[in-house]
Amino acid sequence: MTRYESLLDACGGTPLVGLPRLSPTVPDGAPPVRLWAKLEDRNPTGSIKDRPAVFMIREAERAGRLRPGDTILEPTSGNTGISLAMVAKLRGYRLVCVMPENVSTERVQLLRMYGAEIIFSPAAGGSNQAVATAKQIAAEHPDWVMLYQYGNPGNAQAHYETTGPELLHDLPTITHFVAGLGTTGTLMGTGRYLREKVDEIEIVAAEPRYGELVYGLRNIDEGYVPELYDASVLTRRFSVGTRDAVLRTRQLVEVEGIFAGFSTGAILHAALAVAHEAVKAGRRADVAFVVADGGWKYLSTGAYGGTLADAEDALEGQLWA
């Protein structure tokens, strides 16, 4: 076992494990096609977001943008909030998260446990109300610091400096890297590093396709692409629906014993697609994919049991990744 000075130093360095049962069978004499899971749930707060959270806060400290006692404001109800809350607690900052009041109780409990303060916006107002609330809070507190994970280059740089080198060290024969597309930080950072080091590497994005309620825009011009996104880093991009994500999440725990959140199911779906294509083409493949977090925070959805249709209904209208 390795020894670390503090929990923050124990971020990253996650295991890469083979999936001998989920990897496709190849015909006799054909080159091997293997799947490898990078277990990012083994980070301090249980998700891949610990990497950018630690990195962005350290960067802000180095740049003098964060000083002891400062308040960090981040509108997030997900893993980034939980990661930031842990780092903020250990580094002596106050964290304020803005989120709609209809998020799962696990999220709220975890954030509070790590000492974050939560400002809720009314669920009935939807995201428009949340935006208004966030705007108001920022105007009232111009001294608060926002790290803004969708546009902060540190988010991608964290993966360029850690996730990418770890993967190459553990799997020098890597041919594909598959991860989820949200802020795009994981794919941009890891993808850039691997493209520099590995000829013909394929960088594959798995993007969750939510229920219709989540796409409640009034028109196309209200859409948004994170500032960090650079399409030239990617080789391919898949949209994965709720049903496929749930199916693969269940398969991962049933067949390989890895209990993951639903975004990982979406990522596995894309990883299996490229693995099966390699088998068909008779090409060697070492496909590494990200297990973004464990399934604990999503148990209350009920989507780990019952029929796939029930699970799909349970996740309808939720941001499950």
Phi/psi for 68 (5° steps) reads: -50, 135
Q: For residue 247, how many other CB atoms are within 10 A of its CB? A: 17
Q: Tell the smallest beta-carbon distance from residue 111 to other proteins (Å).
A: 14
Name residues whose C-beta falls within 8 Å of residue 111's C-beta, 6 or more positions apart in sequence: 81, 82, 85, 97, 118
Site for other proteins in 170-189 (CB under 8 A): 181-183, 188
Does 35 interact with other proteins (rule: CB under 8 A)?
no
Which span sits near other proteins by CB under 8 A: 18-26, 83-91, 143-151, 297-305?
143-151
> Which residue blocks in the chain are alpha helix, DSSP H?
50-62, 79-91, 105-113, 126-140, 153-158, 164-170, 185-197, 242-256, 262-281, 308-315
Query: Is 49 known to be catalytic?
Result: yes
Among 1, 28, 223, 307, binds other proteins (CB under 8 A): 223
- Nearest residue to 46 (alpha-carbon basis) of 295, 313, 284: 295
Least distance between other proteins and beta carbon 126 (Å): 9
Stretch 263-282 residues interacting with other proteins (CB under 8 A):
263
Instruction: Using DSSP, state whether 71 is helix, strand or coil.
Output: strand
Closer CB to other proteins, residue 175 or residue 263? 263
Single residue of 26, 60, 178, 201 touching other proteins by CB under 8 A: 60
93 touches other proteins by CB under 8 A: no
Largest CA-CA distance found in the chain, in angstroms, rounded:
67
Q: From 34-42, 161-169, 215-223, 286-294, give the range in contact with other proteins by CB under 8 A.
A: 215-223
| Residue 146 contacts other proteins per CB under 8 A | yes
Instruction: Name the one range near other proteins by CB under 8 A: 22-30, 63-71, 253-261, 288-296.
Output: 63-71
Task: Evaluate whether 186 touches 192 at the Cβ level (below 8 Å).
Answer: no
- Which residues are tagged catalytic? 49
